[in-house]
Amino acid sequence: MSEPAAPIWVGTSWKMTKTLAEARAFADVLAATSWDPTVQPFVIPPATAIAAVAERLAGSPVLVGAQDAHWEDAGAWTGEVSVPQVADAGARLLEIGHSERRAHFAETDERVNLKVRAALRHGVLPLVCVGEDARQREAGEQLATVTAQVRAALHGVPDDAAVLLAYEPVWAIGEGGTPATPDDVAPVVEAIAHEAGPRRAVLYGGSVSLDNAAALLEVPGIGGLFVGRAAWQVEGYLAIVETAVESARRR
């Protein structure tokens, strides 16, 4: 008997957007949505809204995540929240090493690794973001860059520990980002999968939209999409989910 096909991950990080009322309204729509099992949905609210969103999505297949957490379980770390705290609020997934954190908040490869281990210690699924910047891409260093980031993130992590990876080229993310093409993405996804091991899904993120989602989901070995702006309105998110369902049917 062949193994069932792995679901396509489709998630969004809201980054530093949304009031509690906006987060609840988004979650209420997700709670009322019927989900196709070919897709594994997830949402990553700001820390202030994790509990409210998780309460509304209890019993739904939508996984709720946190955008970051400290590597220590508790202590004198003013302003931080820990993995046990975000898990207590309802997070089942932890985003780690997003390029905005690497660029602005001293998120080093070492800290990424500490956070991966902290997540795994508490049964929270790490979602590790890696990606080269424009200069590295220009110099043809993308494969070496992401391979080193993945190796560092997974240092000392058992091969059988569940970890998600997201390829997020820095030059493709956010306002002013240039969407990567499937040809840009394919060799890097292959390199990440090679370094991370065959059972770990590799998502793509960076200016994903309804215009390019279907083409990106054709990249060999791609495990899903991690969406920012295009999914900050629930209709936008659900439209990309629908694209992924159609893509899964063609697989």
Which residues are the active-site residues?
A: 98, 168
Query: Residue 158 CB, nearest distance to ligand 13P (Å)?
Result: 26
Which of the ranges 118-126, 135-143, 152-160, 166-174 carries the binding residues for ligand 13P, by CB under 6 A?
A: 166-174
Output 112-117 pairs: Cβ under 8 A, ≥24 positions apart: 112/149, 112/152, 112/153, 113/152, 113/153, 113/154, 113/155, 113/156, 113/157, 114/71, 115/68, 115/69, 115/70, 115/71, 115/83, 116/153, 116/154, 116/157, 116/163, 117/71, 117/156, 117/157
- Lookup: tokens for 19: 């009031």
Residue number with CB closer to ligand 13P (205 or 223): 205
- Per CB under 6 A, contacts with ligand 13P among 221-250 are 226-230
d(CA 27, CA 181): 31
**Interface pick for ligand 13P out of 174, 182, 197, 236 (rule CB under 6 A):** 174
> For tokens 């063609």, what's the residue?
250
Report if residue 14 touches ligand 13P, rule: CB under 6 A: no
**Interface pick for ligand 13P out of 61, 84, 177, 197 (rule CB under 6 A):** 177
Query: Residue 240 CB, nearest distance to ligand 13P (Å)?
Result: 10
d(CA 147, CA 31): 37
- Using an 8 Å Cβ cutoff, are 165 and 131 in contact? no
Query: Helix, strand or coil for residue 231?
Result: helix
Query: Residue 8 CB, nearest distance to ligand 13P (Å)?
Result: 16
- Using an 8 Å Cβ cutoff, are 219 and 144 in contact? no
Residue number with CB closer to ligand 13P (22 or 72): 22
Q: Pinpoint the alpha helices (H) of 42-199.
A: 50-56, 83-89, 99-104, 109-121, 134-138, 142-153, 182-196
- Lookup: tokens for 157: 């992590």
Residue number with CB closer to ligand 13P (17 or 55): 17
**Interface pick for ligand 13P out of 65, 169, 206, 223 (rule CB under 6 A):** 206
Residue nearest ligand 13P (C-beta atom): 228
Query: Residue 177 CB, nearest distance to ligand 13P (Å)?
Result: 5
Query: Residue 68 CB, nearest distance to ligand 13P (Å)?
Result: 12
Residue number with CB closer to ligand 13P (152 or 173): 173
Query: Residue 59 CB, nearest distance to ligand 13P (Å)?
Result: 26
Report if residue 168 touches ligand 13P, rule: CB under 6 A: yes
Task: Name the strand (E) or helix (H) holding 202.
Answer: strand 202-205
**Interface pick for ligand 13P out of 7, 13, 64, 219 (rule CB under 6 A):** 13
Binding site for ligand 13P (CB under 6 A): 13, 98, 168, 173-174, 177, 205-208, 226-230
